[in-house]
Structure formats: C-alpha cells, structure tokens
Amino acid sequence: MNKSIYRKHSAWMAILLVILTLSWVFPAAGNAQEFETAAESAILMDTATGRVLFEKNSDIPMPPASITKIMTLLIGFEALERGDAKWDDKVNISERAYQKEGSTMFLEVGKKATYEEIINGISVVSANDGCIALAEHLYGSEEAFVRIMNQRAKEIGLTKTQFKNSTGLPDEGHYMSARDIATLARYLITNFPQILEIESKREFTFNNITQNNRNPLLGTFEGADGLKTGWTTEAGYCLVGTAKQGDMRLISVVLKTQDIQERLRASTELLNYGFKSFEYITVHKAGDIVEQVDVKNGKELTVPLKVAKDVTVLIPIAKKDEIKTSVAKDKDLLEAPVEADTAAGSLKVELDGETLAEVEISVAENVEKASFFEVIWQSIVNFFRSLFKVTKQ
C-alpha cells in the first residue's frame, strides 16, 4: 500500500472512530432504548399525563423498603380530607410505636405528638415510630391500617403491590413494582400537592432533636422537591424522586441500587434523561379550525369544526416533526339548525402508532335553517355543480 492510499485510509478510519464515539457519548434523544440505568428496576413517568418515558423491569414485584410510606402518607392525607383527622390532633404514643426499630423521630411512650408532627416525621426523616402512631390513631392498630393500605392499592389500580406493614421493614410477601410506585406517587402528588411542601423540607426537629432530610436530590438536582428514599438489605438502596423544570414534572423510581452514590447517580441520570429528551408541544390551540362538515337545509352549506381545548402532548424532542393528526367526524352531514359547540367528533394525535391525545371537536358557529326558497335555490346550485363534475371527469 503506497503512502497516499494509506493516508486516505487512515483519515477515513479516524472519521469513523469519531462518529462512533459521538454516537456512544450522545445517544439519540427520545429513544428510550439508548438509555440505561444501573438500578435493577426503574421507571420514569410524566406526572401530568402518566405517560411512561422509560422503564426497566418495571412490573417485577420487589421489596420497596420505606417507599411503602407513600401509601401510609396518602391514607394520612385522605383522613384529613374526610375530616377524620385534624393537623392539631393529639396522637398518643404506644409502647409498640416507641419500640419500633429503624429510622425514628424519637417519639416517647405515654406522651403525645400532633398529627402534623407525625406526618412531618414520616415525610422528612422516614419515621417508623410515626407510622405506627399514625396507624393506631386512625384505625386502632397497624393490622387494621394495613388492610386499608391494601384496599386503597386495589382502588388506585396497583396490580403488583401487597403490603404487610406500614413502614416497609422486611416482611415476607411485602412488595411493590416500580410501575405501581410511580402510579401511587403520581396519585399522591396530584391529589395532595401540599405533600411536596413537607417532603422538600431540609430538616425536621422533634423532641429537641434535629435530623436532616434523607432525600439526596434536594439541593443537588434542579427542581427536586420529593419524594421518598428507602433501604433494607433485601431491597437495596431505593429512591422515588420528583422534580419540576418549567411546565414539566417527572417522577423517577429506582429500586435495588448498590449504595447511596449509585442510587443518587441513577436517579439523577433518569431525571436528566427525561428533561433533556422530551418536551411539551401544543399541536392545536382551543378554537383552532381543523375540519368542516356539510350541512343539510342550512343557510350555510358547510360549517367549520374546532378543537374544544388545547391539544398539548409530551414527545421526544427528536421526533417533533413525526407527529400525525387525524379527524374522525361523528357524521358526514349535519341537518340545520346547528348550534355552536355541538360535539361533532374527535381529533387524534399519534406518534409511531401510539395515541398521545384524543380530544373532542365541536361545531364552531351556529347555522340557521334555510327558508323554503333558499333550499330550492341550493338544490338547483348543487344540481349544476354535480353536472359540472360529471362533465369535467
């Protein structure tokens, strides 16, 4: 091989190497298959729509450790909503609550704490003693409380979840899947957004003892304000994170990472992937005209159809130009009189064969019924139009 050919060959090999390197370092945005995580099980969910942006072994039931407390907190908030509890209620501390092992808010047997203090202790420092105190206060015993936990799990639609206790401490047959965890977290945040004000507190003081919030995302990841950490030997290091950047709030779940550092790294990478690879776009604004429909015996022969509300979807940034929309009319012909805002069909937004949104379309304006002579005149016009079409063909 002469030197000229060798130099050309070397140059092409160098270019190819650069391309391959860049494709590895900067994977294609929006393609979930290009992203990987060290967590044994993980999921990333958009809070507004519930759309899953990434998942790995997300339906496998696994020990959730203290992530269990998301359900414990939900039941606590629902009791407040029903009026069965108040923030300033005095909660008795039993011997069982006092002796509960693991993370604690340092409750003392025979003394009382407010309902608000109990909720804060569970949220910020993952207080196991607080969970028992809450359970006994609301339902008399932890066993009765756990029955409510499992009942609510079924009602919310959690299919790979079974609770054996209110804390998440190791217990045979106690499990949740990553998908169920994300679904539960979304339900809690959506119905009780004030939970994030509590979960984002950096520290909690009770009984003159101050403890730091265990969530490593707080103060290290932009927009992070929740939600729950977990660890046991069997569960590994787990974390449900949530963060909001701009108009987008995401929920990340990582289960069974090896240590604190890997848990934080896996959660950060997952949230970064979501915020950098996806965006909301408005396909149509409320009132946009998307189609028209013929009108029989009306003063107008056709009437426009409008989108009833804004059509906003979450999509991979790289696939913005691949969105498809289609209109399905309820009828091809309406009969006058026609009233504005009458439902007339639907508009569907699709990407890669998946329906991202489907919204109602409606009549944009009133169409009055034509007079007898107007109907005759329209019939004559339509007759000659049809003749013209036949002649033209």
Distance linking the first and last C-alpha atoms of the chain: 68
- Residue 370 is given by DSSP the state P
Count CB atoms within 10 A of the CB of residue 69.
Answer: 27
Q: Is 69 a catalytic residue?
A: yes
CA separation (Å) from 30 to 27, 54, 169, 317, 319? 9, 10, 37, 6, 7
Q: Mapping DSSP to helix (H, G, I), strand (E, B) and coil, where does residue 10 land?
A: helix
Options 69, 100, 228, 256, the catalytic residue: 69
Question: d(Cα 388, Cα 386) in Å, to the nearest integer?
Answer: 5
Options 103, 123, 126, 177, the catalytic residue: 126
Q: Is 58 a catalytic residue?
A: no
Options 41, 56, 58, 66, the catalytic residue: 66
**313 pairs with which residues across the strands?**
281
Query: Which helix H or strand E contains 291, and what residues bound it?
Result: strand 289-296
Nearest alpha-carbon partner for 290 in 211, 345, 224 = 345
Return left, alpha or beta for 343; rule: phi > 0 is left, psi -120 to 50 is alpha, else beta. Answer: beta
Q: Is 66 a catalytic residue?
A: yes
Q: Which distant-in-sequence residues (6+ apart) come within 8 Å of 123 by Cβ?
A: 69, 73, 195, 198, 199, 201
Question: d(Cα 178, Cα 62) in Å, to the nearest integer?
Answer: 8
Catalytically active residues, by annotation = 66, 69, 126
